[in-house]
Amino acid sequence: MIILVLNCGSSSLKYQVLDMKSDNDYSLLAKGLVERIGEPMGIYNHQLPGKDKFSVEKPVPNHTVGISKVLELLTDKSLGVISSLKEIEAVGHRVAHGGEYFSGSAAIDDEAISKIEKCAELAPLHNPANLLGIRAVQSLMPEIPQVAVFDTSFHQTIPDYAYMYAIPYEYYQKYKIRRYGFHGTSHKYVAKKACNLVGMDISNSKIITCHLGNGSSITAIKNGRSIDTSMGFTPMEGLVMGTRSGSVDAGVVTFLEEKEKLSAAEINTILNKKSGLLGVSQASSDMRDIESGAGSGNANAALAQEMLFYGIRKFIGAYAAAMGGLDMIVFTGGIGENSSTTREQACEELEFLGVDFDKDVNRAVRGKDVILSTPSSKVKVVAVTTNEELVIAQDTMNIVKNK
Ligand code: ADP
């Protein structure tokens, strides 16, 4: 089954075309990125595996035009991978927020669209963009089945005492203010993949998955179900991230608003775009720069990375306690897959939990699926690559087949 996977942002869209024979037997046919949608000049980047990237500058006034051009590229004689659009059997969308409506991926129909619209208040930057993509496909390929895969749905198993904030209950009733968590597709996928790697039964396991990228979150997965996660009502909570602050005392927000005379939008920009590794280092949001800065004696870069390492260790300790034990720690995401320093520091002094970390093995690992703990380690530690597009394609295939 050939599936088009779309991840639509407000001014960009990413796509992949996968040929799915089964969940684990698949091939990537093409992928690409359309940027600067709505700006005077846009850019299309299109790539076939093992071939040079094709890029062309052209205005992209809206998502429908962008997707229409992508469909042209996919059927192009030299750049394409299919002879006719009829070969695409389904479209899977990454959708940021499913609120309390979706505890799994869902076929897109009028009811699903109306629920995704209702969740737009919770993800004002993302859900409207995701809907633009869904509507563009509806107008360009009206017959094709579409499926929504949510960043939040895996975390719908978190119990109320872990997802509630202790603010007046009426705000939960009025606005559904609670922890939702994000990166759900990644946490679910890497937990399963890691279990396969070490031969662990996911339905009888206590796993902590650390998705560390520009945005980072940590999840406690007990017997295959998310029971807590570090991101909250928005992706701002939890760990120090590239440009997001992670958790801060809410008192800091009101203090800063008063002292600096900041509007809600301004403080939001500071906490989302100017904080985290960038804010503390005053240099870069990119972990590679932070590591090299720290290595060459930049004190702020060293502080920023130490704050991240300490944060990860703290969550590991907390989530081991929340699950009443720990069987495995999983690292993924751009930092988790590639930064041996982060993995080593995150596991520093975790021997008391039963972690016996193999520093030599760890040092050589970049972008691969590898066991990083010694054979006798009670708690397994692994690095595995994530693949959110694959999960979207798998769920899309399974939902469409079962309809
Ligand atoms: P996103 O959250 O946008 O998907 P990624 O998962 O691609 O981001 O992660 C991006 C982060 O991964 C950046 O901070 C980048 O510096 C970091 N990263 C990538 N490669 C390395 C590396 N070799 N060493 C350290 N950090 C790395």
* Ligand 1 near 335 CB (within 6 A): yes
Which residue reads 């939001």 in tokens? 268
* Centre of ligand 1 from the C-alpha of residue 169, in Å: 38
Cα distance between residue 302 and residue 292, in whole Å: 9
Q: What is the CATH number of domain 2-150?
A: 3.30.420.40
Does residue 305 line the site of ligand 1, with CB under 6 A? Answer: no
Q: What would the two tokens of residue 13 be?
A: 């869209």
Nearest CA to ligand 1 atom 3: 214
Per-residue pLDDT of the chain (403 residues; tens, 9 = 90+): 999 999 999 899 999 999 999 999 999 999 999 999 999 999 999 999 999 999 999 999 999 999 999 999 999 999 999 999 999 999 999 999 999 999 999 999 999 999 999 999 999 989 999 999 999 999 999 999 999 999 999 999 999 999 999 999 999 999 999 999 999 999 999 999 999 999 999 999 999 999 999 999 999 999 999 999 999 999 999 999 999 999 999 999 999 999 999 999 999 999 999 999 999 999 999 999 999 999 999 999 999 999 999 999 999 999 999 999 999 999 999 999 999 999 999 999 999 999 999 999 999 989 999 999 999 999 999 999 999 999 999 999 999 999 8
* Tokens of residue 251, six digits: 């008192």
Residue environment code for 11-37, b if the CB has 16+ CB neighbours within 10 A, otherwise e: bbbbbbbbbbeeeeebebbbbbbbbeb
Is 151 among the catalytic positions?
yes
Give whole-number Cα distances, 323 to 184, 352, 355, 363, in Å.
Answer: 18, 16, 16, 29
CATH 3.30.420.40-classified regions of the chain:
2-150, 200-383
Q: Is the CB of 288 under 6 A from ligand 1?
A: yes
Q: How far is the CA of 151 from the centre of ligand 1 (A)?
A: 19
The response to whether residue 214 sits with its C-beta less than 6 Å from ligand 1 reads: yes
The token pair that represents 101 in the structure block = 């409506």
CATH superfamily of the domain spanning 200-383: ATPase, nucleotide binding domain (3.30.420.40)
Q: What is the pTM of this model?
A: 0.95
